[in-house]
Amino acid sequence: MRRPTAIVGAFSLILASCGGGGGSSGGSGGSTTPIVLPTPTPAPANLYAVPAQESLTQADVQRILAQGIAEAQARGLPADLAVVDRVGNVLAIFAMNGANQRLLVPTGPNGSTHDLQGVDVPGAVAGAIAKAITGAYLSSGGNAFSSRTASMIVQQHFPPSAATVGLESGPLFGVQFSQLPCSDLSARFSGTAGASAFIGPKRSPLGLSADPGGFPLYKNGVVVGGIGVMGDGLYGFDPEVLDVDHDNEEAIALAAGTGFAAPVEIRADRISVDGTLLRFSDATIADLRSNPAAAPGFGSLNGSAGVLTSVRGYYDATAGILPGQAYGSEGSGVRAATTGEFSNRDAFILSNGAGANRFPIRPGTDGGLSAAEVTALLEEAFRIMSAARAQIRQPLDSRAQVSISVVDTNGEVLGIVRSPDAPIFGIDVSLQKARTAAFYSSASAAAELQADPDPDVAGFVAAVRAFLGDPAALTGRTAFTDRAGGNLSRPFFPDGEVGRPPGPFSRPIDEFNPFSTGLQSALIQADVKAHVGFVLGGPADVPALCTRIPHPKRIANGIQIFPGSVPIYRGATLVGGIGVSGDGIDQDDMISFLGLYNAGARTGTIANADPAIRADQIVVPVGAGVRLRYVNCPFAPFIGSSEQNVCQGK
């Protein structure tokens, strides 16, 4: 999830950009010899175990709600509770009598109200859903992350604390603006009982949440959903990781999930990033004020302690409590690929619930990539993933598991494939990354942003041009990855160095918090606010397009600002982007970069950008000069191989 420990000097950054962390993208770029992987192809057997098809039953959901309600009563904090399955279907929302329905988002440090900062609506149910989805989507059979974990990895310093000022930003900085309600990938609740009602992955009303009170739910070691709780009216984040909070919402969610808790050995506090253990929960079983095993039956609480509550666009209470879909089934919307859909026997794809692949491999709509080239890209990236050592999975030396997306220059999806147990959040994020790389690298990026009806969005073009000293920035002369664009999206540049200016795609630090990152949040804030209005009774939902640029499909589910993508070229011509998400950010970088490299060697027609136009040729005039990054690959990344700098010179 993490590049090397924070770099504290501009000169060090310049040196690092020449190949630190397993190699950037320097070198001649002339080699076309494929990476030799330690795993034979095709593999003699499946490399990945397929998760058992476990799911939450109606009785399970009733028990979860009853346990949470009992703890809320013991604490004197009536709350809203939401339960979702692994692919985001809302199975129940329970509003306790007297629950605070306020959802107040913190303002910036100086009181700024950019983007989602300062939102104050009677939308606590939306916050509960977002927390539940966060727990479900960030987790897998190899890692269990909570909304508290999310808080730790999206802030301006990692780990977030008054004692860590000067360290780089969180490894998944910006992931909170994924799974957006306007996304063209995330499915929508139909409000009917038809076949499409339970197809996932579903959208979240507020993206992913950094507010403690959301946990994944497990059965027999298999993640089956999430629980989210809102009761205090505040929808924020935890800026101080070195203390222990006594958070009522987190305790209620912990009690609710008793009997469905994540296995201890895969929880976030067993996974380290740069030598720092992540946080899973500040609440413990010993902190509970009720005995979950003695919680009253749900039937005695429903109607007396509160009621099941409909949430427009997400849940119809007249249908009662719903059972969850078993991940991997056709009905879940994510299942194993057939041999006709994808060649690798380990592959999973997104399904429409009626047997068809939602995103089958196809040629570009812009006349660029052929179907054969898209096939090569996905197959070669899948091979790199299958040989790579995971960063965020237990046990150690597990294989990486990610989602992989390929798009053309119009932002159209040309294919999506994933491993069996990759976290769900990576599906939407891999598409965001692929689109962002293609968009930033295109000849029309500046013109598109300048044409956005929001002058705040248009202003970022002038900011990046002034920052780089390049009046022609974002006109296709430079190949941008998400790592390079992310460098420019941090509230300090270089990343983490207090006292330095903000990157040109970021808000200044006194106007920054996780609800207002800069260009990323400015692009989508109007649609998220409009959607919340719809949830609360407004006239119409937002379309499945997250931006208002002239050609919104190009970044239709929003942009992403943490690493894991590269643009795709045919000679000097941009033809698309490939994005990867679900494991460590260096692993994501490597899979996209080497996947394209090997696809180029295989086809002889496509390639990574020429080194001369890659973003790591840009030296920003800050201090002694700071070079942007292109990709950063891990050292000795392959299981069964001691090869070190696998990306160097490619």
Q: What is the pLDDT of residue 196?
A: 62
Q: What is the pLDDT of residue 36?
A: 73
8 Å CB contact between 161 and 245: no
What is the C-alpha separation between 94 and 91, in angstroms, rounded? 10
Helix (H, G, I), strand (E, B) or coil at 462: helix
Q: What is the pLDDT of residue 546?
A: 96
User: Which tokens is 649 given?
Assistant: 């010179």
What is the C-alpha separation between 545 and 133, in angstroms, rounded? 21
User: Which tokens is 215 given?
Assistant: 């946990």
8 Å CB contact between 351 and 338: no
Q: How far is CA 372 from the centre of its chain?
A: 28
What is the C-alpha separation between 634 and 391, in angstroms, rounded? 10
Longest dimension (CA), the chain: 72
Instruction: Spell out, as residue ranges, where the chain has pLDDT lower than 50.
Output: 1-30, 40
Q: Residue 122: CB partners within 8 Å, gap ≥ 6?
A: 101, 102, 103, 536
Closest CA to 6 of 167, 171, 170: 167
Q: What is the pLDDT of residue 214?
A: 98
What is the C-alpha separation between 362 and 641, in angstroms, rounded? 34
- What is the secondary structure of 286-311 as a DSSP string? GG-SS-GGGPPPHHHHBTTTEEE--B
Burial level of 297, CB count in 10 A (0-12/13-18/19+)?
Answer: exposed
User: Helix 455-468 to helix 519-535 angle, to the nearest 10 degrees?
Assistant: 160
Q: What is the pLDDT of residue 580?
A: 98
8 Å CB contact between 135 and 227: yes
8 Å CB contact between 627 and 619: yes
Beta bridge partners, 399, equal 389
DSSP code for 37: P
Closest CA to 434 of 538, 331, 575, 529: 575
Q: What is the pLDDT of residue 26?
A: 39
Burial level of 147, CB count in 10 A (0-12/13-18/19+)?
Answer: buried
8 Å CB contact between 490 and 498: no
Strands 276-277 and 272-273 come out as antiparallel
Q: Which residues of 468-492 are buried (b: 16+ CB within 10 A; e: fewer)?
A: beeeebbebebbbbbbbbbbbbbbb
User: Which tokens is 615 given?
Assistant: 């973003």
Helix (H, G, I), strand (E, B) or coil at 355: coil
Peptide bond into 106 cis (omega under 30): no
Tell me the domains of the chain and their CATH numbers.
12-29+333-441+563-627 (3.30.450.150), 58-322 (3.30.450.150)
Burial level of 440, CB count in 10 A (0-12/13-18/19+)?
Answer: buried
Q: How far is CA 320 from the centre of its chain?
A: 31
What is the C-alpha separation between 549 and 521, in angstroms, rounded? 14
Q: What is the pLDDT of residue 34?
A: 83
Helix (H, G, I), strand (E, B) or coil at 95: strand
Q: What is the pLDDT of residue 340?
A: 94
Closest CA to 582 of 6, 128, 145: 145
Q: What is the pLDDT of residue 198?
A: 82
8 Å CB contact between 30 and 610: no
User: Which tokens is 463 given?
Assistant: 């900011």
Beta bridge partners, 187, equal 202
